Amino acid sequence: MFKGSLRSLLVAVAVVGLASGCTSTKSGIGTDNGRVGSNPDGLSPQAVYEPPTFKRIVWWNVGSFESVPESMEAAGREFCGCQDTDSTKHVAIGYHPLARGTDGLPIKGGGFLCVATANR
């Protein structure tokens, strides 16, 4: 019963969509082990609101991301850079051309997995 209710809630929240071009991707949740390239044949990554607060957007199915292709590095820097602060820089460590937004639809141009590093 709870499992179905949670799934319904996730679907309802996912319909809200991304509020901006930046997606907080500091961590991922899902059925894989969370390492880039560990499950390349799995479901394409999807941005979801992280339970239990549903306030932060994270990636589901992180293992489906692969290394950022050289041709996409500049786009990855731009996408992840919008999350930078004075003390933290975000870099793209993964890319998937069919990554999906919180609405379940493919993100135009694909999606990037960003991680925070110390800003020096």
User: For position 22, what pLDDT does the model report?
Assistant: 58
Q: Single out the residue of 100, 62, 33 nearest to residue 111, CA to CA.
A: 100
Count the domains in the chain: 1
pLDDT tens, the chain, 120 aa long: 434 433 333 332 332 223 335 554 445 666 566 688 888 888 899 999 988 999 989 999 999 999 999 999 999 999 999 989 999 999 999 999 999 999 999 999 999 999 998 876
User: For position 119, what pLDDT does the model report?
Assistant: 74
Domain of residue 22, residue span: 2-118
Q: How far is CA 68 from CA 9, 15, 73, 76, 120, in A?
A: 32, 28, 6, 8, 23
